[in-house]
Structure 1
Amino acid sequence: PFGPVQLKDQTDPLIDDYFAQLFEQNVKVGQLRTRLAVEGQENAGPRRAAQELLTFIENQ
């Protein structure tokens, strides 16, 4: 596998630039905690996270 952790030197500048552009345009950013890795929450966790995200978006 490869990605931000394995290719940190290559991906960090890209990530920094990406988020800088989002912030400049006042785009809301955040984390979505799906609980996908929590035993017993593999299905309900992502579903709940998606529902809460949609509720957040609808109330903006």
Structure 2
Amino acid sequence: MTITGMKYKCYLPDEDMWAWMIVSPDEKTITFEQGIKWKGGRVTEKWLHDNWLSERLGITND
């Protein structure tokens, strides 16, 4: 699946967290994620990416 749109990322300093969203050409939100912690690498789950858990458990997708 290919999603066409503009990705916006923002940092929320009061919460020390990141958020992002993809907005379609007709200015509608396609998808978003919030509450992302980043400390030299991502430390929170990737809700839209299955590899986050498998990487931490040492599972290969071969």
TM-score band, normalised by the shorter chain?
under 0.3
TM-score by length of 2: 0.24
User: Radius of gyration: which is bigger?
Assistant: 1
Structure with greater helix percent: 1
**Bigger relative contact order, structure 1 or 2, given CA contacts below 8 A and separation 6+?**
2
